[in-house]
Structure 1
């Protein structure tokens, strides 16, 4: 399984993120930094997340992706899209309630001209802990099933000394 990486491009008013390989919490600082940049760009009106080359997404990554949909809605942006051709990834997303927050597609609707790898950012232990906690809280807020699944994880993270 390929180590996870993140590719990104901006085309006109659309931001495209492509997650590749085994995407885990090691990329949470990178994803969070990219979100800050993306949502700070007043020209961005839509977001596409391409998971066609993703082998695995951990729960922290899922929480960060959910955060995109929630933030986009609060800013009045178009509903974000997720492209997933991997049945296992699609099943995981659907089981977490992502279809309520994202437009789900199997194939890209448009051609992406230029994607560049986003350099991985390092974070402090306390910063990563906070991002993991926020990601799991976001997953819990999506639906009752997720609340039950991740409540013990959130409690453990809240009780963990930093």
Structure 2
């Protein structure tokens, strides 16, 4: 288990997703379900992702955040805002091409006190593999560097039986 958490809130027509600490793939099922429910809701005027308290974040989580942005652009015609004040995290976001799918800001995001933690979910190995594969395929679609970086992982995941 990681020492991180993901919280969310619906606040004045804004969906807020806040990641805190060391955020790893242990959250992938709950995060994916939250993303899909958010897109189905069709009631948000903006989406804010707050990474200002992230120490580290893995590529699976980043891929799922990119999925949220891509679906938001497709369904609502808007790019979410992603806030990061950690220089290391911001460097990763820039190198992954997140400036193409987010409005990146490097200041603290206003965040309501009414955030709730994402619920814990039992995750089968097959479900985790599916989320990891999807997240990395999304990252690969963002730029050539990501394609090179994650090609072997995606190939390995695709060739491993579920």
Class of the TM-score when normalised by the shorter of the 2 chains: over 0.9
| Aligned partners of 1:45 and 1:77 also within 8 Å | no
Change in 2 beyond 3 A, CA 1:111/1:135: closer
1:30 Cα shift?
A: 1.1
After superposition, the C-alpha distances for 1:92-151 in whole angstroms (9 at most, x for unaligned) are 000000011101112245452421112222222111111100000000000111111111
Unaligned runs of 5+ in 2: none
- 1:6 matched residue in structure 2: 6
- 2:21 matched residue in structure 1: 21
Kindly tell me the number of residue pairs found equivalent between the two proteins.
Answer: 161
| Aligned partners of 1:14 and 1:46 also within 8 Å | yes
Matched, 1:92 2:95: no
In 2, Cα distance between the equivalents of 1:30 and 1:3? 16
Matches within 5 A, 1:80-119: 80-108=80-108, 110-119=110-119
In 2, Cα distance between the equivalents of 1:132 and 1:40? 22
TM-score, normalization by structure 1: 0.94
- 2:141 matched residue in structure 1: 141
| Aligned partners of 1:46 and 1:77 also within 8 Å | no
| Aligned partners of 1:85 and 1:106 also within 8 Å | yes
In 2, Cα distance between the equivalents of 1:120 and 1:45? 28
1:76 Cα shift?
A: 2.6
- 2:121 matched residue in structure 1: 121
1:20 Cα shift?
A: 0.7
TM-score, normalization by structure 2: 0.94
RMSD: 1.3
Q: Could you say what secondary structure the match of 1:36 adopts?
A: helix
Unaligned runs of 5+ in 1: none
In 2, Cα distance between the equivalents of 1:110 and 1:22? 21
Q: Could you say what secondary structure the match of 2:76 adopts?
A: coil
In 1, Cα distance between the equivalents of 2:111 and 2:72? 22
